[in-house]
Amino acid sequence: MIAGLAITVQDKVQDTVQEVMQTKVNLLGLTEVGLSDYMVSLGEKPFRAKQIMKWIHHMGVSDFNSMTDLSKGLRKTLSEQAQISAPEVVSQLDSVDGTRKWLLRVGGGSCIETVYIPEPGRGTLCVSSQVGCSLDCSFCATGKQGFMRDLSAAEIIAQLWLAVGSFNGFDPARKYADGEIGRITNVVMMGMGEPLLNFDSVVAAMNLMMDDRAYGLSKRRVTLSTSGVVPMLDRLGEVSDCSLAISLHAPNDKLRSELVPINKKYPIAMLLDSAQRYINGLSDNKRVITIEYTLIDQVNDSLELAEQLVELLRDVPCKINLIPFNPFDLSDYKRPSNNRVKAFQRVLNEAGFIAPIRTTRGDDIDAACGQLAGAVLDRTNRSARYRLKSRTALNGSDVEALVVDGPKSEADSDNILARG
Ligand code: SAH
Ligand code: SF4
């Protein structure tokens, strides 16, 4: 499933185009404050920002000459100095169940993925925050790809901009029939990457998602999902009031540290305290933490662990999403049987927890949770080590130590954490 990483001629042309374009300011990722400052720097009134935001995010316009309520002079200046530019769409795949997946080129031979999931009464866009991920959770396809770079705010909001444009176009007043595909009511930062390790760009993009001059999504319907970067979660509470999902996956530190390595640095008690502080700090007191629990056969899906989870979360205001593991090429883990998943759920339900089982969507286009791989030109060499490991396992020889003890992934995570 992981696409070949050779840099094609098309990639090179694209990179050259991007280098030329980089000298221009990309207005797509600017919040109202940023855009107002830019207008002032051009000698314009700050309120021009409001007009331009509507053109970009309400009407999907990327050509300054079409912005008819701006003066001709300003339109000319903007055409020379600025751009409204989104990543190139390499492919757009539709599943039989209505799920849609985009592969977007982000330069250097790398691509990211974005997924739209229609459900009765709502449509959710699953958005990526980084090219790959440095954190290397054992059950995640993105983690196995290593890490290339952070996405810019423009590249993050572009995923929503492109998705809106790809369905019915830009018309905020459009009424949708029940069950009609294409309406985007929710965004979850659950695509490729760890959003809290790309803090400023993710916060700026989420602000645009929730801003009435852009997408006007309810703060209850924009969710940041984290594997537990505690210091950044504490900072999030100071600047955002989006909803929060915690990727827990295990009820004790020993098991969680095996599945989610960042747990060694920020263990469960610390993470849940921070998540509680975040939720308590929100202006409305109705919101709860979403706990994500990926169920892996014979690894974290026993009834004993379900009981432990009940004890752990007894006083935490939360709902628990149960996600049966989605298999991918480089993983030996298995999805549990439906009976095991239901038995785990029953323990939680009987203790009073809301614990829906997330059904797999977009299976035919590899769009399920945790399968998003895109194509990452990996700076950490982790992906090569995993591929070597899986090939060698097939050949029967043993380079386990080389693969498992490879120094670069840990060091890379630490550097990235230190940067935050
Ligand atoms: N880095 C963030 C957001 C991206 S991962 C985080 O970890 O929360 C989004 C969700 O997909 C997480 O809950 C993650 O645990 C889950 N996930 C990853 N790989 C999976 C897989 N193979 N099967 C099912 N869920 C998976
Ligand atoms: Fe990164 Fe999230 Fe995947 Fe872990 S689960 S490797 S944090 S994207």
CA-to-CA distance for 69 and 67, rounded, in angstroms?
Answer: 6
Which structural domain, as residue segments, surrounds residue 75?
A: 2-83
Q: Are residues 306 and 177 in the same domain?
A: yes
> Is residue 227 within 8 Å of residue 247, measured between CB atoms?
yes
> Could you tell me the distance, in angstroms and rounded to a whole number, from the CA of residue 185 to the centre of ligand 2?
24
Q: Taking 70 as the threshold, does the pLDDT of residue 415 lie above it?
A: no
Phi-psi region of 396 (alpha: psi -120 to 50; beta: other; left: phi over 0): left
Q: What tokens does 279 get?
A: 């939720």
Phi, psi of 81 (to 5 degrees): -110, -15
pLDDT tens figures, 125-161: 999 999 999 999 999 999 888 999 999 999 999 999 9
Catalytic residue among 111, 133, 137, 369: 369
Of 130, 194, 300, 333, the residue with max ligand 2 atoms within 8 A of its CB, to mutate for a pocket test, comes to 194
Answer whether residue 370 is part of any domain. no
Q: Are residues 292 and 247 in the same domain?
A: yes
Tell whether the torsion through CA atoms of 206, 147, 357 and 300 is positive or negative: negative
Name 92's bridge partners.
102
Ligand found nearest the CA of 142: 2
pLDDT tens figures, 183-201: 899 999 999 999 999 999 9
Q: Are residues 70 and 123 in the same domain?
A: no
Distance of alpha carbon 124 from the chain centroid: 12
Distance of alpha carbon 270 from the chain centroid: 23
Q: Are residues 95 and 176 in the same domain?
A: yes
Name 319's bridge partners.
290
Q: Taking 60 as the threshold, does the pLDDT of residue 404 lie above it?
A: no
Q: Are residues 335 and 212 in the same domain?
A: yes
Phi, psi of 402 (to 5 degrees): -55, -45
Q: Are residues 46 and 179 in the same domain?
A: no
Answer whether residue 374 is part of any domain. no
CA-nearest residue, atom 17 of ligand 1? 370
Q: What tokens does 149 get?
A: 């770079």
Rounded (to 5) percent helix, strand, coil in the chain: 45, 15, 40
Report the number of secondary-structure helices (H) and strands (E) in the chain: 15, 13
Binding site membership of 248 for ligand 2 (Cβ less than 6 Å): no
Q: Which of 68, 83, 98 is the last residue of a domain?
A: 83
Q: What is the average per-residue pLDDT within 151-180?
A: 85
Q: Are residues 73 and 113 in the same domain?
A: no
Q: Are residues 211 and 107 in the same domain?
A: yes
Position of tokens 């709902």?
319
Amino acid at 298: Q
What radius of gyration do the chain's Cα atoms show?
A: 22
Q: Are residues 183 and 96 in the same domain?
A: yes
More confident residue, 235 or 107: 235
The answer to whether residue 155 is catalytic is no
Q: Cα–Cα distances in Å, from 266 out to 75, 230, 315?
A: 50, 6, 20
pLDDT tens figures, 36-90: 999 999 999 999 999 999 999 999 999 999 999 999 999 999 999 999 999 999 9
CA-to-CA distance for 206 and 217, rounded, in angstroms?
Answer: 9
Cα atoms in the Cβ-side hemisphere of radius 13 Å centred on 239: 15
Q: Are residues 109 and 75 in the same domain?
A: no
The total number of structural domains in the chain stands at: 2
Answer whether residue 137 is part of any domain. yes
pLDDT tens figures, 285-311: 789 999 999 999 999 999 999 999 999
CA-nearest residue, atom 9 of ligand 1? 190
Q: Which 3 state secondary structure label does DSSP give 26? A: strand
More confident residue, 364 or 153: 153
> Could you tell me the distance, in angstroms and rounded to a whole number, from the CA of residue 227 to the centre of ligand 2?
7
Task: Please provide the size of the chain in residues.
Answer: 420
Beta strand extents in 190-282 (DSSP E only): 222-226, 243-247
Strands 88-94, 100-105: parallel, antiparallel or unpaired by DSSP? antiparallel
Q: Are residues 40 and 99 in the same domain?
A: no
CA-to-CA distance for 196 and 201, rounded, in angstroms?
Answer: 10
Answer whether residue 106 is part of any domain. yes
Amino acid at 231: P
pTM above threshold 0.85: yes
Answer whether residue 389 is part of any domain. no
Q: Are residues 277 and 358 in the same domain?
A: yes
Binding site membership of 205 for ligand 2 (Cβ less than 6 Å): no
Catalytic residue among 113, 155, 194, 292: 113
**Cβ-Cβ contacts under 8 Å for 75 (sequence gap 6 or more):** 64, 65, 67
Q: What tokens does 180 get?
A: 């009609």
Q: Which of 51, 83, 115 is the last residue of a domain?
A: 83
Answer whether residue 299 is part of any domain. yes
Ligand found nearest the CA of 135: 2
Q: What tokens does 76 get?
A: 């000319």
CA-to-CA distance for 206 and 208, rounded, in angstroms?
Answer: 5
pLDDT tens figures, 198-224: 999 999 999 999 999 999 999 999 999
Q: Which of 25, 57, 83 is the last residue of a domain?
A: 83
Residues lining ligand 1, Cβ inside 6 A: 139-140, 190, 194, 225-227, 247, 292, 294, 323, 325-326, 369-370
> Could you tell me the distance, in angstroms and rounded to a whole number, from the CA of residue 283 to the centre of ligand 1?
28
CATH of the domain at 60: 1.10.150.530
pLDDT tens figures, 382-399: 777 777 776 554 333 332
Rounded to a whole number of angstroms, the distance between the first and last alpha carbons of the chain is 31
The answer to whether residue 113 is catalytic is yes
CA-to-CA distance for 405 and 55, rounded, in angstroms?
Answer: 51
CATH of the domain at 335: 3.20.20.70
Which one, of 267, 316, 323, lies nearest residue 294 by Cα? Answer: 323
CA-nearest residue, atom 24 of ligand 1? 325
CA-to-CA distance for 129 and 191, rounded, in angstroms?
Answer: 7
Answer whether residue 128 is part of any domain. yes
Position of tokens 């001629």?
9
CA-to-CA distance for 191 and 202, rounded, in angstroms?
Answer: 12
Q: What is the mean pLDDT of the chain?
A: 86
Answer whether residue 413 is part of any domain. no
Band of pLDDT at residue 365, cut at 50, 70 and 90: confident
CA-nearest residue, atom 8 of ligand 2? 193
